Chains A and B, each alone.
Chain A
């Protein structure tokens, strides 16, 4: 009698154990089917490669800085720091830019001129869209109608006027200057902007984007307003 009971229990426990293990398997590593096709995988791969090369170039730059600091210890640490400050200022747009880039001219569309429609200013949404698009194509420095765009530049509507850095943007025509790291990048940006659909969005607002040829040297003025910093405080001189 007792033996049969044990056998029953054993069989039941075997089933319970099996069910528990299957449940554990299911919860721990749910099977997700990879439904990407070869093109999706290729695209992902190219994206990853791009990130890889970007990271490599960043590592290279930081390595250079470390090397410079190392060399400067014997010479002058202050010089190295100054160099970094200049670099940082350049990065955020506090100094004038001279280098390769291209110029975009925003002008009223031919139809609006022919029909005699009043020229209206560019809307903040459209300008933000354009700047996002330009940044997506890896622009280094951007200037809209003489106003340098930095990380904190506001683009908004003030009393019906679109402003950049709180200064109104002129009605069309006006210029947008874009600085790129190399001439090749400028060429690439030109092609990408030509191919992008952003021109159609401008056309809806009776505006036309005239994308200029890439140039070896363009000038972009520096950001001329004070930069507010909420988190970092300047250390008084003499302290460290």
Chain B
């Protein structure tokens, strides 16, 4: 349980300590990639809790979603359409849904444990 949290803290401290920055023009790509990553992550947690977790789906989904989101943003920039908004909307909605499902599962588990 603590291992993933440790990974997160390690990643954040690594990023902060290296003081790495992306150029301003690539900022939107990174933000959308972060959103895609968070979406996949919560999707993975939900799948794990629902016992439908698949390693391949999770890992491939993570990288594929990031790449797709960045590609969409890239295409949008070159076509002059804010396509990244579509990605933000899709990922945002899914993120909320996933979190809602996780919350419900947690609540059910908690109440079951209380009954016992």
Do they bind each other?
A: yes
Give A74 to B10 CA distance when docked, in angstroms.
70
Quick check: is A79 within 8 A (CB to CB) of the other chain?
no
Give A19 to B22 CA distance when docked, in angstroms.
10
Give A13 to B37 CA distance when docked, in angstroms.
9
CB distance from B73 to the nearest CB of A (A): 14
* The residue from A9, A23, A26 contacting B44, defined by CB atoms under 8 A apart: A9
CB pair B8–A6 under 8 Å, yes or no, is: no
Count residues of B near A (Cβ-Cβ below 8 Å): 37
Known: A17-B10, A19-B30. A24 touches B16 (CB 8 A): yes
Give A31 to B20 CA distance when docked, in angstroms.
10
| Consensus secondary structure, chain B interface | helix
CB pair A18–B14 under 8 Å, yes or no, is: yes
CB pair A4–B3 under 8 Å, yes or no, is: no
Stretch in contact with the other chain, from B53-61, B85-93, B98-106: B53-61
Give A226 to B37 CA distance when docked, in angstroms.
72
CB distance from A146 to the nearest CB of B (A): 58
CB distance from B26 to the nearest CB of A (A): 9
Quick check: is A20 within 8 A (CB to CB) of the other chain?
yes
CB pair A20–B12 under 8 Å, yes or no, is: yes
Quick check: is B112 within 8 A (CB to CB) of the other chain?
no
CB pair B11–A13 under 8 Å, yes or no, is: yes
Q: Which residues of B contact A9 (CB under 8 A)?
A: 3-4, 7, 41, 44-45
Quick check: is A73 within 8 A (CB to CB) of the other chain?
no
CB distance from B111 to the nearest CB of A (A): 24
Q: Which residues of A contact B31 (CB under 8 A)?
A: 23
CB pair A15–B11 under 8 Å, yes or no, is: yes
CB pair B22–A26 under 8 Å, yes or no, is: yes
Quick check: is A21 within 8 A (CB to CB) of the other chain?
yes
CB distance from A178 to the nearest CB of B (A): 48
Give A6 to B58 CA distance when docked, in angstroms.
12
CB pair A10–B3 under 8 Å, yes or no, is: yes
Q: Which residues of B contact A23 (CB under 8 A)?
A: 22, 27, 30-31, 34
Give A31 to B24 CA distance when docked, in angstroms.
8
Quick check: is A22 within 8 A (CB to CB) of the other chain?
yes
Quick check: is A14 within 8 A (CB to CB) of the other chain?
yes
Residues of A within 8 A of B (CB): 4-27, 29-31
Q: List 10 A-B contacts (CB under 8 A).
A: A6-B3, A8-B59, A12-B62, A14-B8, A15-B37, A16-B11, A16-B34, A22-B15, A25-B15, A26-B22
A5-B53, A11-B7, A17-B13 known; 7 new pairs, CB 8 Å cut-off, are A13-B4, A14-B10, A14-B11, A16-B11, A18-B14, A19-B37, A24-B15
Residues of B within 8 A of A (CB): 1, 3-16, 19-22, 24, 27, 30-31, 33-34, 37-38, 40-41, 44-45, 48, 53, 55, 58-59, 62
